[in-house]
Structure 1
């Protein structure tokens, strides 16, 4: 992984290891959380013993970018063994109010 150093940043080593951070980012999708902050509060309340070196919310948001490439590689390896059948769930996502659906530029 490349380490880009900024003159103004301290570049301290994180107490949270890469595998713990990847587990945290993967498990957010298992729950019904509205935001990452609510998921982080859930982690602090119920899973503090499993993550003893859990960093602050602002620090974990900064660290999310550092594990993007390893997380992508992990997901690529996991999804590589496909048996040829795939299912796609299409859920209706409300993008804007229904009345402005025909006026909005993106729908043209």
Structure 2
């Protein structure tokens, strides 16, 4: 366990060492004056914790963070922040995490599977009160009923490696998203009837 955690951290840290300076150079300046105090935890530490959570047997991130990160793995993350602060830091690493996932080596096998799933933002009855995703999230119907949120489209190869993913509005037809996602793939793509 220790070796996989350390090797995962090293890979993520090397990636962040290359990405973050380039990313910060192209960001627009914020006109609002804010304190730009660096976090106690580095971006690579936060990403490592989030990715390593999926290798654990925990289904609840809060229990994982409190029992594993703040408990048995505290020697690996001595500057770990409180759970509430960690949750506040999570959105700041979303884009680097997406870049990291997209940059991972993928094996072109010629056999791919595509599917989409819903990503609920809130309960359908509270959709009019939602301010965070107002104008972005949409109301739509899936096989499970009505929902308010987004759709996530994923293509994996026959070994389970993530080849492509895309997030779209809930009202987007699956067939519209597929050609752009699969333009660099050669072989056969297998999907449900929504992609016909």
Q: Same fold (TM over 0.5)?
A: yes
TM-score tier by shorter-chain length is 0.5 to 0.7
Could you tell me how far apart the structure 2 residues matched to 1:105 and 1:71 are? 31
Could you tell me how far apart the structure 1 residues matched to 2:113 and 2:55 are? 18
For the 8 Å contact 1:5–1:11, the answer to whether it is kept is: no
RMSD: 2.6
Deviation at 1:71, TM superposition (A): 0.5
Query: What is aligned with 1:55?
Result: 81
SS at match of 2:54: helix
Report the TM-score when normalising by structure 2: 0.39
- Residue from 73, 82, 87 that aligns with 2:99: 73
Higher helix share: 1
Say whether residues 1:36 and 2:64 are aligned partners.
no
Deviation at 1:105, TM superposition (A): 3.8
Q: How many residues align?
A: 89
Deviation at 1:35, TM superposition (A): 1.0
| Runs of 5+ consecutive residues of structure 2 not aligned to the other structure | 1-23, 115-143, 147-196
- Residue from 71, 78, 88 that aligns with 1:45: 71
Could you tell me how far apart the structure 2 residues matched to 1:77 and 1:49 are? 29
Q: Deviations over 1:52-78 (max 9, x none)?
A: 110010000000000000010010010
- Residue from 29, 36, 42 that aligns with 1:17: 42
Q: Which has the higher contact order (CA 8 A, sep 6+)?
A: 1
Higher strand share: 2
Label 1:78 to 1:58 Cα distance change in 2 as closer, same or farther (>3 A): same
Report the TM-score when normalising by structure 1: 0.68
| Runs of 5+ consecutive residues of structure 1 not aligned to the other structure | 89-103
Label 1:6 to 1:62 Cα distance change in 2 as closer, same or farther (>3 A): farther
